[in-house]
């Protein structure tokens, strides 16, 4: 059959198969090859891997040919001794076929065979599987420890701490840690629970008695009344309050209470000398609070600032309930915005005997003001047994923002008031400015001495709330007030702080303030809405 292959019309091209002489047909003349030098690459002119090394010597050309898979690996001998069972996929018969990328198996290694026992004539099959060869395995370095055992020193014993008996102290510390964590969480939960129970909440029904969204385009005169006055309101304030739309107006659903300069109306020179000013529509029964005459000799000036003050005295009041206002504070040196409440009737006597509740007060000075600038808001209760003895220092509180002022955004200010407690907060009950429980009479809370010296003689201190409830004087109907004051001599702006241009005890305090108008006015925003107390809405509920 081998002879027939050689003599057939089809002959294997020399560029395709290159058999050694031991396996070539008798009529096949192999091409001459130049022997390669040791260490150099062999000829790759054939597309079939070089096979002679895979067959033992002595196998005649008429013997069986090896079975080769698609990659050129010898699989075994075919069932027919004179024909190939399966041709390699790389044995393309064209002479210009590309050579294989690499030999199918190493030149000096045995090919893995599927049926090596079929070849006879040798005691040991040359096709012994490579898996029978033993290779030395690299030694593991996992046990080449350092440290106490020395560099690269091997040890025979491996530490297995999970098999060792735990130290009692270790187990105790582990359990103690988790027990303390559990106790801490439990204690926190108990503290939160009882803290929540300690916070009083309003009981009963609340009836809405006033809701003003300022959506009518103007101030609702059926709700709000203007106080027109230039007497200082008992605080020595430097502004006059008017009913002018320059100082109070509604724009885009927001109420603005805006301070302006009086010199814009009457001129700068008239502020200091030679001008008589009469306040039109004055609401104060004391005529001295309705006009002024400027005199440079006596340093009497006309109030240098005009502003507004509105209230609900003739429309809405509550005795216990809730008040909620969403507002933005003004910015500018010596501005004093306030949202507060006074009693409808002075049942216990003149201020402060009948009380005052300040829901929120602030200062327009900047964040660098040393006595609480725009980033502070304060709430307080004013009360006392005598007209000149106010104990507000014992009942006030504040809240503050470390990063920005309350003049930058709108915030919600609220009052919750019952016969048992009063609370003022901003935005949330967690941000309480002041919270007081009526657990004892205010006279006892004041801890007053039996007598006091009034400047001329020693007089006993009366108890104006004798026989009333513990909430007195805060147990009567109160109405709401909103205003922007400027300056004052009552101590709201302490002397010597923030380059204050006047002294509270000076008889010429307003003159000194007016004389430095250019300095403090430069800190007021040119945008009128930013120097104003801006109010989005006001709501009032009463217990019912």
Q: Tens digit of pLDDT for each residue in 249-300?
A: 999 999 999 999 999 999 999 999 999 999 999 999 999 999 999 999 999 9
What is residue 118's predicted lDDT score, i.e. its pLDDT?
Answer: 44
User: How do residues 388-420 score in pLDDT, each as one tens digit?
Assistant: 999 999 999 999 999 999 999 999 999 999 999
Cis preceding linkage at 43, omega within 30 = no
Q: What is the mean pLDDT of residues 97-125?
A: 50
- Check whether 23 has a pLDDT greater than 50: no
Burial (Cβ within 10 Å: 0-12, 13-18, ≥19) of residue 284:
middle
Sign of CA dihedral 107, 113, 116, 118: negative
Q: Please state, in angstroms and as integers, the Cα–Cα distance from residue 6 to each residue in 26, 29, 382, following that order.
A: 8, 10, 127
Other CB atoms within a 10 A radius of the CB of residue 389 amount to 15
Angle at 148 between CA 159 and CA 161, to 5 degrees: 15
What is residue 292's predicted lDDT score, i.e. its pLDDT?
Answer: 97
What is residue 246's predicted lDDT score, i.e. its pLDDT?
Answer: 98
Instruction: Compute the distance between CA of residue 112 and CA of residue 115 in angstroms, rounded to an integer.
Output: 9
Backbone angles phi, psi at 536, to 5 degrees: -85, -45
The residue among 137 and 59 whose pLDDT is bigger is 137
What is residue 455's predicted lDDT score, i.e. its pLDDT?
Answer: 81
SS3 535: strand
Q: What is the mean pLDDT of residues 416-439?
A: 97
Band the pLDDT of 35: cuts 50, 70, 90.
very low
Sign of CA dihedral 289, 292, 295, 296: positive
What is residue 132's predicted lDDT score, i.e. its pLDDT?
Answer: 52
User: How do residues 308-329 score in pLDDT, each as one tens digit?
Assistant: 999 999 999 999 999 999 999 9
Burial (Cβ within 10 Å: 0-12, 13-18, ≥19) of residue 168:
exposed
Per-range mean pLDDT, top range of 123-127, 173-177, 193-197, 512-516:
512-516
The residue among 211 and 152 whose pLDDT is bigger is 211
Q: What is the pTM of this model?
A: 0.69
Look over the chain and give the mean of its residue pLDDT values, rounded to a whole number.
Answer: 83
Residues 6+ positions from 472 with CB-CB distance below 8 Å: 348, 441, 442, 465
SS3 246: coil
User: How do residues 328-341 score in pLDDT, each as one tens digit?
Assistant: 999 999 999 999 99
The closest of 237, 125, 134 to 484, measured between CA atoms, is 237
232 phi-psi bin (left φ>0, alpha ψ -120 to 50, beta other): left
Question: Which stretch of 189-193, 213-217, 402-406 has the lowest confidence by average pLDDT?
Answer: 189-193
Q: What is the mean pLDDT of residues 504-520?
A: 97
Other CB atoms within a 10 A radius of the CB of residue 281 amount to 10
Q: What is the mean pLDDT of residues 497-506?
A: 97
- Check whether 108 has a pLDDT greater than 70: no
What is residue 454's predicted lDDT score, i.e. its pLDDT?
Answer: 84
Q: What is the mean pLDDT of residues 44-64?
A: 46
Angle at 318 between CA 315 and CA 321, to 5 degrees: 140
Q: Are 230 and 289 spatial neighbours (Cβ–Cβ below 8 Å)?
A: yes
C-alpha distance across the termini of the chain, in Å: 121
What is residue 166's predicted lDDT score, i.e. its pLDDT?
Answer: 75
CA gyration radius, the chain? 52
What is residue 227's predicted lDDT score, i.e. its pLDDT?
Answer: 98
What is residue 42's predicted lDDT score, i.e. its pLDDT?
Answer: 45
Question: Which stretch of 34-38, 91-95, 189-193, 444-448 has the lowest confidence by average pLDDT?
Answer: 34-38
Instruction: Compute the distance between CA of residue 1 and CA of residue 84 in angstroms, rounded to an integer.
Output: 12
What is residue 159's predicted lDDT score, i.e. its pLDDT?
Answer: 78
User: How do residues 265-276 score in pLDDT, each as one tens digit?
Assistant: 999 999 999 999
Q: Are 441 and 467 spatial neighbours (Cβ–Cβ below 8 Å)?
A: no
- Check whether 36 has a pLDDT greater than 70: no
Sign of CA dihedral 485, 487, 489, 495: positive
Q: What is the mean pLDDT of residues 193-213?
A: 89
- Check whether 78 has a pLDDT greater than 90: no
Residues 6+ positions from 476 with CB-CB distance below 8 Å: 319, 343, 344, 345, 347, 354, 355
Q: Please state, in angstroms and as integers, the Cα–Cα distance from residue 21 to each residue in 27, 32, 60, 155, 319, following that order.
A: 11, 12, 10, 59, 124
What is residue 67's predicted lDDT score, i.e. its pLDDT?
Answer: 53
What is residue 48's predicted lDDT score, i.e. its pLDDT?
Answer: 43
Q: Which domains does the chain have, with CATH numbers?
A: 1-33+40-131 (no CATH), 206-543 (2.60.120.200)
Q: What is the mean pLDDT of residues 337-346?
A: 98
The residue among 61 and 356 whose pLDDT is bigger is 356
Alpha helices in 22-106 (DSSP H): none
Q: Please state, in angstroms and as integers, the Cα–Cα distance from residue 420 to each residue in 198, 221, 432, 439, 489, following that order.
A: 13, 34, 17, 7, 34
- Of the chain, the percentage scoring pLDDT greater than 90 comes to 64
Please provide the size of the chain in residues.
544
What is residue 103's predicted lDDT score, i.e. its pLDDT?
Answer: 55
Band the pLDDT of 463: cuts 50, 70, 90.
very high
What is residue 461's predicted lDDT score, i.e. its pLDDT?
Answer: 95
Q: Residues 54-88, buried b or exposed e (16+ Cβ, 10 A)? A: bbeeebebebbbbbbeeebbbbbbbeeeeeeeeeb
| DSSP output for 484-532 | EEE--SSSSS-TTSSS-SS-TT-TTHHHHHHHTHHHHHTTS-SSGGGSS
Tokens of 456: 């001329």
The closest of 105, 6, 8, 116 to 48, measured between CA atoms, is 105
What is residue 456's predicted lDDT score, i.e. its pLDDT?
Answer: 86
- Check whether 121 has a pLDDT greater than 50: no
- Of the chain, the percentage scoring pLDDT greater than 70 comes to 71
Pairing of strands 305-307, 260-261: antiparallel
Instruction: Compute the distance between CA of residue 495 and CA of residue 138 in angstroms, rounded to an integer.
Output: 88
């Amino acid at each position: 059959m081998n002879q027939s292959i050689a003599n057939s019309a089809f002959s294997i091209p020399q560029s395709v198969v290159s058999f050694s002489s031991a396996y070539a047909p008798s009529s096949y003349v192999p091409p001459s090859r130049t022997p390669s030098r040791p260490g150099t690459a062999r000829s790759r002119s054939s597309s079939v891997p070089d096979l002679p090394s895979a067959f033992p010597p002595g196998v005649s050309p008429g013997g069986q040919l090896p079975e080769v898979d698609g990659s050129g690996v010898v699989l075994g001998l075919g069932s027919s001794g004179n024909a190939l069972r399966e041709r390699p996929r790389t044995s393309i018969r064209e002479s210009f076929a590309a050579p294989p990328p690499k030999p199918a198996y190493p030149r000096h290694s045995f090919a893995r065979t599927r049926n090596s026992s079929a070849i006879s004539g040798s005691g040991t099959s040359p096709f012994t599987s490579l898996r029978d060869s033993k290779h030395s395995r690299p030694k593991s370095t996992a046990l080449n420890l350092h440290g106490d055992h020395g560099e690269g020193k091997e040890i025979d014993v491996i530490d297995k701490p999970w098999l060792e008996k735990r130290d009692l102290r270790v187990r105790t510390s582990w359990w103690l840690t988790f027990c303390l964590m559990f106790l801490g969480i439990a204690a926190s939960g108990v503290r939160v629970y009882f803290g929540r129970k300690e916070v009083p909440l309003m009981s009963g029904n609340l009836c809405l008695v006033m809701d003003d969204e300022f959506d009518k385009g103007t101030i609702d005169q059926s709700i709000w009344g203007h106080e027109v006055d230039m007497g200082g309101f008992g605080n020595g304030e430097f502004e006059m309050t008017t009913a002018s739309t320059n100082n109070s107006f509604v724009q885009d659903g927001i109420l603005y209470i805006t301070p302006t300069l009086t010199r814009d109306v009457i001129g700068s020179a008239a502020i200091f000398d030679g001008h008589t000013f009469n306040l039109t529509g004055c609401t104060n029964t004391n005529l001295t609070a309705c006009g002024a005459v400027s005199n440079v000799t006596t340093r009497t000036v006309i109030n240098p600032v005009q502003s507004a003050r509105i209230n609900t005295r003739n429309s809405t009041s509550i005795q216990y309930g809730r008040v909620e206002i969403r507002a933005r504070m003004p910015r500018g040196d010596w501005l004093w915005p306030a949202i507060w409440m006074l009693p409808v009737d002075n049942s216990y006597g003149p201020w402060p005997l009948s009380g005052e509740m300040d829901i929120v007060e602030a200062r327009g000075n900047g964040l660098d003001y040393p006595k609480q600038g725009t980033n502070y808001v304060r709430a307080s209760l004013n009360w006392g047994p005598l007209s000149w003895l106010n104990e507000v220092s014992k009942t006030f509180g504040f809240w503050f923002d470390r990063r920005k002022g309350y003049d930058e955004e709108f915030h919600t200010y609220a009052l919750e008031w019952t016969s048992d407690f009063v609370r003022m907060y901003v935005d949330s009950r967690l941000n309480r400015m002041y919270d007081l429980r009526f657990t004892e009479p205010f006279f006892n809370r004041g801890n007053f001495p039996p007598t006091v010296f009034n400047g001329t003689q020693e007089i006993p201190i009366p108890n104006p709330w004798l026989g009333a409830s513990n909430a007195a004087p805060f147990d009567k109907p109160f109405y709401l007030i909103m205003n922007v004051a400027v300056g004052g001599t009552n101590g709201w702006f302490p002397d010597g702080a923030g380059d204050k241009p006047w002294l509270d005890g000076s008889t010429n305090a307003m003159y000194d303030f007016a004389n430095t108008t250019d300095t403090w006015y430069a800190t007021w925003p040119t945008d009128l809405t930013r120097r104003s107390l801006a109010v989005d809405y006001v709501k009032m509920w009463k217990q019912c």
